[in-house]
C-alpha cells in the first residue's frame, strides 16, 4: 500500500515535471484525468476493460487520514484503479474509486437531463462495429430504444452507440464503421 510520505513525494515530482515541460499554456497537459466513484470496483473494472477496451495501469490507495485532510472523504480510505486509453504521458486516464466503508448512491439518470453534473464520457473509437461487438461479447447492451439502428448514424461516416456502466453512467462510443 502506498504510504502518505510516498504519495506526497510522487505528487510533488509529478507537479515538478509538469511545470518543467510546460509550454505557453495554463495547463501542463492537454488531457483530463477523470475520477469516478463506483459501488463495485470489480464490476466497473470489468466493464471498462472488457466491454470498452481500457487498459489497467498500477493503481494505488490513498490513506484515510490524507483523504480527509485533502477534503476528499470524511475519514475513509480510497482504493483507486487507474485505466488508460492510449500510450504515453498524454493518454487519457480514468480513475475508478471505491471508498472503503462508503455506500454511494447509483446514478439515477434515465436520460442526460435527469440530473446535473458530468453526464457521459465520449470515447472516439476506430471502428464502432468492432466496439459494439466487444461490448456485446462482454454482456452489455446499448441503450438505444425502438427500432433505432446500433450504431446510429450521426454524421457522414460517424456513428454513435451509448452504454451505461454498472453504476448507470452513460458512455458513448463515436467513430466510423469498418
Q: Quick one: three-class SS letters along 89-136?
A: CCCEEEEEEEECCCCCCCCCCCCHHHCCCCCEEEEECCCHHHHHHHHH
- Do residues 57 and 84 make contact, with C-beta atoms less than 8 angstroms apart? yes
Establish if 137 belongs to a structural domain. yes
Cell of 99: 471508498
- pLDDT of res. 148: 66
- Do residues 55 and 83 make contact, with C-beta atoms less than 8 angstroms apart? yes
What is the residue-level pLDDT of the chain in tens, covering all 178 positions? 444 444 443 444 444 444 454 446 777 677 888 999 998 999 999 999 999 999 999 999 999 999 889 898 888 998 899 999 988 888 989 999 988 788 887 777 777 777 777 778 899 999 999 999 999 999 999 988 766 667 888 889 999 999 999 988 889 999 999 8
- The domain of 140 spans 112-175
pTM of the model: 0.76
Which CATH number does the domain housing residue 142 bear? 3.10.180.10
Establish if 69 belongs to a structural domain. yes
CA 56-58-64 angle, to 5 degrees, is 120
Residues 156 and 95 in one domain: no
- pLDDT of res. 7: 40
Cell of 134: 466487444
- Based on the structure, what is the number of domains in the chain? 2
What is the biggest distance separating any 2 CA atoms in the chain, rounded to whole angstroms? 56
Residues 87 and 123 in one domain: no
Do you know the residue count of the chain?
178
Task: Please return the burial class of 144, using the count of CB atoms within 10 Å of its CB with bins 0-12, 13-18 and 19+.
Answer: middle
Amino acid at each position: 500500500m502506498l504510504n502518505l510520505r510516498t504519495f506526497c513525494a510522487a505528487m510533488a515530482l509529478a507537479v515538478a515535471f509538469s511545470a518543467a515541460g510546460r509550454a505557453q499554456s495554463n495547463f501542463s497537459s492537454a488531457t483530463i484525468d477523470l475520477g469516478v466513484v463506483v459501488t463495485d470496483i470489480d464490476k466497473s473494472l470489468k466493464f471498462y476493460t472488457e466491454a470498452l477496451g481500457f487498459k489497467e495501469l498500477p493503481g494505488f490507495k490513498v490513506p484515510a487520514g490524507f483523504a480527509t485532510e485533502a477534503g476528499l472523504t470524511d475519514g475513509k480510505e480510497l482504493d483507486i484503479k487507474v485505466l488508460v486509453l492510449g500510450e504515453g504521458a498524454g493518454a487519457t486516464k480514468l480513475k475508478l474509486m471505491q471508498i472503503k466503508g462508503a455506500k454511494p448512491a447509483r446514478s439515477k439518470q434515465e436520460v442526460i437531463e435527469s440530473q446535473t453534473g458530468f453526464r457521459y464520457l465520449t470515447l472516439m473509437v476506430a471502428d464502432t462495429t468492432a466496439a459494439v461487438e466487444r461490448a456485446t461479447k462482454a454482456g452489455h447492451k446499448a441503450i438505444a430504444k425502438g427500432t433505432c439502428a446500433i450504431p446510429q448514424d450521426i454524421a457522414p461516416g460517424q456513428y454513435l452507440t451509448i452504454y451505461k456502466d454498472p453504476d448507470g453512467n452513460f458512455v458513448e462510443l463515436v467513430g466510423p464503421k469498418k
